[in-house]
Chain A
Amino acid sequence: MYKKTHWWSVLAVLLVAVIVLAACGGGSGEETTEEGTTEAPPTATTAPAKGEGGGEMAGGEGSYYERALAGEFKGTVVTMTGPFTDEDAVKFNESVREFEDATGIDIQYEGSKEFEATISIRVEAGDAPDIVDFPQPGLLGTFVKQGKVVDVRAFLSEEYLRQQYNQSWLDMATLEGPDGPVMAGVWHRFNAKSLVWYPKDDFEAAGYEIPTTWDELIALSDQIKADGDTPWCIGIESGAATGWPATDWMEDIMLRTTSLENYDKWVRGELPFSSPEVKHAAELMAQIWFTEGYVYGGRAAIATTFFGDAPAPMFEEPPKCWLHRQGNFITSFFPEGVQAGVDYDFFYFPPIDEAYGKPWLVAGDIMAMFNDRPEVRAVMEYFTRGEALKGWLAAGGALSPHKDAQIDWYGDPVERRIAELVQDATAFRFDGSDLMPGEVGAGSFWKAMTDWVSGTVDLDTALAEIDQSWPR
């Protein structure tokens, strides 16, 4: 027998419960709606933050950084994301720990290798983290254009910023917003890229000389090859970002074979990739990359070797390759236990055409702010100060763009020397692919270089395809 009464009784109980609830009056009802609305703001931090400190932007004494040190934002959370993971993420977390302990602000950083794709989704979803670390101002530019990024001049005076950074850094942080230029972020760490690493002890034992011109570099490569080894270690594999080390080579060679004006025009898209200048740079690169016996593992290995693993053969005993061109951050990827200045050292990537001097290619991470809350402002202000990087400088793998950073903070004598060299540099330019629009700088440029290196297409096709992908 199937009885309807069963369901009736259940529902009767329910009904009674509802009536009782309703009778208990508005109180509970209001409570529930209140709960509903507090959930509403998209990325509200944990609730307790609101109560303390008045929550007023204008309240409190001194700058946000000072107020944070005074403990005003204790218990708040600032979320961050960026592309660096693994050891770099640990170094970052360690270097901000002191600030977290002093202020009680919890900086939660999570890195992702799919950064380029996921950050777009999050920003579009209105779910952006408070602060985002962009290694590519070009990608940041897209969001600035959409008006999603907070202008840091809203709470940091230009005078103060000039006191913390060289003007050129500030210029590079100034991007075009929907209503005029916006200071889109503050620079955190930077990397010098015009460096060639070599295994110092073995290099000296073998009696090799450090090259100071392109011709000497080629001569040295030939010498190492004649001695039975492959001179270069090159790897461009990097997951979805595969190909970027190749773009660095292109940029470094561009700086050495054409004027800074041409370089700037190239970055802005006014000098096409198919122009003779760019093609010439690629051909010079090919002179090293594609010469038989020059690269460890041969041309095929370049495309499939993870960039961080590329220098590893240099540290085998005896070395299997002797030269590796990469930014200073690569020291994070060196095998455990190798010593700076003993096992390895660097020399400046030699000039090619003397007319263009000794330019430096640099790249850096800009911290952009997506949610405007007092504690986020405090963290942003903290990033304008050298001490935000102190721990990282000690651990190695970063350079500081801050004027107030001390040279003796560098834990690594080699990096200290790089920092000094860059300080004295007359000409330096930012990594071009990082400044180009995302479609090119984080897309077709990488892909075309990979295609070219792995032999999918020839150079002309590769360059033409980059030109074609430039959004106009």
Chain B
Amino acid sequence: MSAQSKTRKTPLDWLVATFGRLAVSIVVPVVIFGVMILGFQWLRAQTPSSNAQKALLSLVAIVWGVGGVALLYVVMNFVVESLPPRLMRLLQPYVFVGPAMAILGWYLALPTLRTFWISLHDRTGERFVGLANYVAVFTERAMFEAFRNNLLWILFGATFTVAFGLMIAVLADRSRFENIAKSLIFMPMAISMVGAGVIWNFVYEVRDVNSPQIGLLNAIVVALGGEPQAWTALVQPWNNLFLIVVMIWMQTGFAMVIFSAAIKGIPDELLEAARVDGANELQVFFRIMLPYISGTIITVLTTVVIFALKIFDIVQVMTGGQFGTHVIATQFYRQAFTNQNKGYASAIAIVLLITVIPVMIYNLRHFSEEEAF
């Protein structure tokens, strides 16, 4: 403000101020960019060996990343604010939104097109092969197996996650130990899928018939007079279910939390009225609760379905895709990195993208209905 009022005093001041601003608006960003790039190069060149170096690097990185990004915003904003008001009003939003959009463009939007382009080429990316990769994706047994398994993941994984989530939410709502029960059910959300893979591999561990079983499941089976089984390898394709259990275990907590909040949102009068009318608890659940939270159920369902579609870590860690357990994402990894067949892998990725498009459309519809944008 003070600067603006000064500029009106003399033309010289005005000139100095204008050129000053110009200089600042060019020099400062350039310098900042320079510093950022230097920092970038320095960080890139770092391969810390000792733990102390790592801690230091982490610190520098936070300062560089957060500080640098913050500074960039400050400077860009300063530049824009020193422009004539009309131009400023036009440009300022892009200062706010621009960086995010640029990164999104680089990391998600453009790659979609680029991956599609790569998928039309052979393994080296040099020869154009048209839709040949897609033909392969839809004709090979290995891919058929992956699609079938993903379908199992969606069918069983999503259904049971939602069912268990709902059940626990309803039970917990009436329990006196609601908080602790919910925390414990929710806990697997904090565990990595790799860790979960270890945990469940241990549950499924199989020993020879004549040795004591150290895996819980086989110990129970043997105690009940059964034969120990290699659960994740046997009776294909049902061995997939034993992997799916891991996802149910991890995701139920998520479903439960959301349902729990939704159930608490149901007006008490509604439930009481039904009860007074003589409805039993099951009727209350099916006639009142379910319809009331149906929107939430759909949201949770779509989230879990997407989770199941993209499942990778659990399979990769527990079976490595052996024994007929490959899913789309593990096939993608295998083709892209182990086999170095980028074209084929990209085709798989595009197919994966196509499968989530219905959800995307649903989200967008939902969004445009709800938002007064």
A interface residues, Cβ below 8 angstroms from B: 3-5, 7-8, 10-11, 14-15, 18, 21, 32, 35-36, 39, 116-118, 120-121, 124, 142, 237, 239-240, 242-243, 296-297, 300-301, 303-304, 313, 320, 438-439, 442-443, 447, 450-451, 454-457, 461, 465
Contacts and interface: CB of A to CB of B under 8 A. Distances in A.
Contact of B41 (A39, A297, A438, A465): A39
Interface stretch (B260-268, B280-288, B336-344): B336-344
Given A18-B27, A296-B208, A301-B206, A7 B74 contact: yes
Contacts, number: 106
> Which one of B44, B232, B236, B339 has the highest number of Cβ atoms from chain A below 10 Å of its Cβ?
B339
> Which one of B206, B323, B337 has the highest number of Cβ atoms from chain A below 10 Å of its Cβ?
B323
Contact of A454 (B23, B320, B323): B323
B14 to A, nearest CB: 16
B230 A300 contact: yes
B191 to A, nearest CB: 21
A320 B210 contact: yes
B78 A7 contact: yes
Interface in B204-262: 206, 208-210, 229-230, 232-234, 236
Interface residues of B, number: 43
B40 to A, nearest CB: 10
B45 interface: yes
Contacts of B103: none
A142 B124 CA distance: 12
A78 to B, nearest CB: 14
B324 interface: yes
Given A301-B230, A450-B323, A442 B28 contact: no
A142 B3 CA distance: 66
Given A4-B3, A450-B322, A313 B208 contact: yes
A39 B42 contact: yes
A300 B229 contact: yes
A273 to B, nearest CB: 15
B44 A39 contact: yes
26 contacts: A11-B78, A14-B28, A15-B23, A35-B42, A36-B38, A39-B45, A117-B333, A120-B340, A124-B340, A240-B320, A300-B230, A300-B233, A301-B230, A303-B230, A303-B233, A304-B230, A304-B232, A320-B210, A439-B339, A442-B338, A443-B334, A443-B338, A450-B322, A451-B323, A454-B322, A457-B141
B24 A11 contact: yes
B31 interface: yes
B180 interface: no
B1 interface: yes
Contact of A443 (B20, B45, B339): B339
A300 B142 CA distance: 21
Given A7-B78, A15-B28, A454-B323, A438 B230 contact: no
A451 B233 contact: no
Contacts of A7: 74, 78
